[in-house]
Structure 1
């Protein structure tokens, strides 16, 4: 039977010499069995063994079975053999055999190379990985694992058991806090005998870190643990969920109806306001209908159109083409709905709807009211202008006869008669001034006021205005100071209107300045502008009244020496704005008032034309 074995087998006598071998042995050494016995041809020549004891000698001396691996050249090929020799029986005869393990060794080497390559790849991964053998000892870990656990590499190189690693993590507060840690460790250790399918767990560490741990059975026995730090991911997911909830709640409480259609034209999102505006039920919309179906649901309010099919087709095309547009629907129930279509970054399209029926009706009512007010104001202005024109003729007659009487053309008057005549003349002049102011305002409001523009000396304007008012100023016991540089130059303006501006500003200053006060007139260039200022040290104007005093028939303060009609400052503002300028007022109660008119040095052609009506 031994002769038929395919691997070498041999026997040795007590003197350790070969006493028998099978044909496989003889073939391995390139000889015949009888020659092998005769010449004592060994599989492993003594020269290769050197001074070391032979395997047979060790087996003879120690008894039992002894094995070793040796490379041997057989039939011209280098083979790896596992040589085994054992002492048997009381006489310790030696029986030996050799197995060719070349293929197994090659496979084992290939396997080791694959394992090494895999370990190198795993070491480069950013995912922390640890592999434990079936004996629960740590067989492999990568750099990411070291970084995650801040572990002592010298400790890990000792191949600690899983239990020892868990205890090490606990000592460094890198293991989860547990009421019964031993129970927790026992449950984790049980994975080595019970794990069949991959298992995923979340681990919450004392420092707030959250890990996702995947335990996978290893093909060679044991377990491979993969770790992922999901702290930021969970926080982001929580923030995202919160944001989505906030957005959902916001959409649900918007007054605007919102509908979002995907790039495929299907309804992805809608809010209660959308249902309310279009009188829709939520159930059909919950099935994500196409835009064409939604339009059919909206048709009862959209109404019958001459070309409904064309309208629907155009709406679908514009929406799917992500065209930004806005418009208004006038619905069959009388409601008016504004819409706006906006493309979203993800390829979807958002359409918002807002019921503006009440706003439109209120706007229409307001427009009608404004038109009625404008018409009434126009009629009032025309009436005042017509009455003013009609008053001029009898007023001129009264002024003429008053002047005749005052000049005593038809006889001498006594003192009382002269006083009456002078009083009539003064009252007539004031009334004429008021009528002229009213007519000017009416002309401006009607848009028919044209300016006669020419070059006007600013210094002469201020001096002439002061001279014109000098007697009145003297009567009120006030002082006048004019501060104008000789080279202040001129500006383009209507001389008559500018004199009216100065007259009204100085009149206003006289009325509100107590006896002994002063009025200051000044002018200076500021770039392309001329700043003309009238300043007093009178009673001043409260800040809340400073915008109001430029209105028609408004008085700055009831404490004025003489109460006017309240048209002076309104005319000043109108004339300055006709010239393309503006007015700035600076005043505080008890500190006086400073009014500055800023006028362009050169008027534009637009301001030289008749002013347009304010309405």
Structure 2
């Protein structure tokens, strides 16, 4: 398009169509006709053309005709002298380029927002973060990094090349970055560092960037490392303690393989250390126990074994079972699920306890039978004065109910209850006295007492080795009667002898 010095326009008819005009315009003002340029764009073009005519100043402007979806680029400059003192304007259709430019502009704006957000996040992150250039020199660090290395600001840290972690035999802080850059893969290592005067362990992670640089960040894992060390020491101490127990202990991991067993377990189930070193699974251990005849006899062993697998996921906590093995062995089994999905088994040999309990039960039955078949009435009072044991003779002699004796009355209450059975009721106070003497003073005392029905008994309080007192009563009624008869006969004989003596004396005179 050529704009003459007098304002006339010369252009190709096709250009008029681009501008949304039905016919070629004659002046610049005609560009606003029909569906051409807007009034504002037409005025702007007039100003640009005027400036080019007066000062030979070139211009560029993008316009959008109202009747067209095109975007046109106008580039104007003063026309050559042979064309007169006009302005030559080149018009090109940049619709596609404009759309792309707008799309790229929107993408650039979105990326700028994302970059600002990412930059803000990196700055606010409590973790030291950094970026290295392809030569592995520090190019950017965040505030946490500056604070960790005690730098003034990011520029100071970069200029001085302050590294977060210390050098070591593994190559120092740059070694991981070089490995990530050269291998094009993430690199991770734990390195020591001194932060705020304290020795810390940092997990340093380096990530290669498409630009050839490396980004990295560090996580303080000192507490985690200490916790792991403490856990390992605790586990070692626990296993050392378990190895000293008399009970057999076996621990299975989350994969149900044997991870630990103590000496009593190996001895109890006759298992070789070489076989256990292969970390056999739970089912194989049960099968080996069965081969050694160290499992209870069951009809459906596969079903029994499957039921024991539920020990690993026991929702009710520990499970307990009593195993009666061939040969008379009795095992108490405790299965404790572990938080990591494993299982701890404890096998306690209770054969001796079972035998002792059986012997004790037999002894108690023998003692009870002996008590009940003794001629004497026996009662055992505890150190606190309560009646603990008695035989049938004791209950029948005092005429009290079994329910009363089963309540384990104190000796004072017992004496008050049976006082009416005595010929002299206040003599019942002798019973508490004898019991206290036997339990507190550890002295044996005895005596005799007469019942209201005429029977006579000899009683005694005997201290027992366990601190209790044995109260015994022996019926001496028959011997008492025989003694009385003999005494009366002796008196009669003595009286007869006196009569005889007097008779003889009288006959002599």
**TM-score, structure 1 normalization:** 0.53
| Partners of 1:12 and 1:95 within 8 A in 2 | yes
Instruction: Report the secondary structure of 1:190's partner residue.
Output: helix
Q: Deviations over 1:410-466 (max 9, x none)?
A: xxxxxxxxxxxxxxxxxxxxxxxxxxxxxxxxxxxxxxxxxxxxxxxxxxxxxxxxx
* Alignment match of 1:98 (pick from 204, 209, 218): 218
Q: Distance in 2 between matches of 1:265 and 1:236?
A: 29
* Alignment match of 1:338 (pick from 458, 461, 465): 458
Q: Which residue of 1 aligns with 2:326?
A: 206
Q: Distance in 1 between matches of 2:353 and 2:427?
A: 50
Kindly indicate whether residue 465 of structure 2 is the aligned counterpart of residue 351 of structure 1: no
Q: Which residue of 1 aligns with 2:241?
A: 121
Q: Which residue of 1 aligns with 2:288?
A: 168
Q: Which residue of 2 aligns with 1:539?
A: none
Q: Which residue of 2 aligns with 1:110?
A: 230
Kindly indicate whether residue 130 of structure 2 is the aligned counterpart of residue 130 of structure 1: no
Q: Which residue of 1 aligns with 2:201?
A: 80
Inter-CA distance 132–356: structure 2 relative to 1 (3 Å threshold): same
Instruction: Report the secondary structure of 2:421's partner residue.
Output: helix
Q: Deviations over 1:505-551 (max 9, x none)?
A: xxxxxxxxxxxxxxxxxxxxxxxxxxxxxxxxxxxxxxxxxxxxxxx
Q: Deviations over 1:94-137 (max 9, x none)?
A: 43211121232223223322332333333333333333333333
Q: Which residue of 2 aligns with 1:522?
A: none
Kindly indicate whether residue 167 of structure 2 is the aligned counterpart of residue 9 of structure 1: no
| Partners of 1:131 and 1:225 within 8 A in 2 | yes
| Partners of 1:9 and 1:25 within 8 A in 2 | yes
| Partners of 2:133 and 2:214 within 8 A in 1 | yes
Instruction: Report the secondary structure of 2:367's partner residue.
Output: helix
Shift of 1:296: 2.7
Q: Which residue of 2 aligns with 1:55?
A: 176
Shift of 1:197: 2.6
Q: Distance in 2 between matches of 1:315 and 1:301?
A: 18
Q: Distance in 2 between matches of 1:130 and 1:101?
A: 32
Shift of 1:84: 1.1
Q: Which residue of 1 aligns with 2:346?
A: 226
| Partners of 1:196 and 1:217 within 8 A in 2 | no
Kindly indicate whether residue 299 of structure 2 is the aligned counterpart of residue 194 of structure 1: no
Q: Distance in 2 between matches of 1:170 and 1:312?
A: 62
Shift of 1:154: 3.1
* Alignment match of 1:323 (pick from 422, 443, 468): 443
Inter-CA distance 63–348: structure 2 relative to 1 (3 Å threshold): same
Shift of 1:237: 0.5
Q: Deviations over 1:279-331 (max 9, x none)?
A: 333232222222222223332332126x6586566445445444323443332
Q: Distance in 1 between matches of 2:468 and 2:486?
A: 39
| Partners of 2:123 and 2:143 within 8 A in 1 | yes
Shift of 1:185: 1.9
Kindly indicate whether residue 279 of structure 2 is the aligned counterpart of residue 159 of structure 1: yes
Inter-CA distance 158–195: structure 2 relative to 1 (3 Å threshold): farther
Inter-CA distance 48–38: structure 2 relative to 1 (3 Å threshold): farther
Q: List gaps (5 residues or longer) in structure 1.
A: 377-615
Q: Distance in 1 between matches of 2:288 and 2:263?
A: 18
Q: Deviations over 1:206-257 (max 9, x none)?
A: 3322111223344555333233211010110011012112211222233322
Shift of 1:16: 5.6
Kindly indicate whether residue 391 of structure 2 is the aligned counterpart of residue 292 of structure 1: no
Q: List gaps (5 residues or longer) in structure 2.
A: 1-119, 497-509
**TM-score, structure 2 normalization:** 0.63
Q: Which residue of 2 aligns with 1:268?
A: 388
* Alignment match of 2:187 (pick from 44, 66, 90): 66
Q: Which residue of 2 aligns with 1:472?
A: none
Shift of 1:17: 5.5
Query: When the two structures are aligned, how many residues end up with a matched partner?
Result: 374
Inter-CA distance 30–329: structure 2 relative to 1 (3 Å threshold): closer
Q: Distance in 2 between matches of 1:209 and 1:227?
A: 12
Q: Which residue of 1 aligns with 2:365?
A: 245
Tell me which moved more, 238-247 or 216-225.
216-225
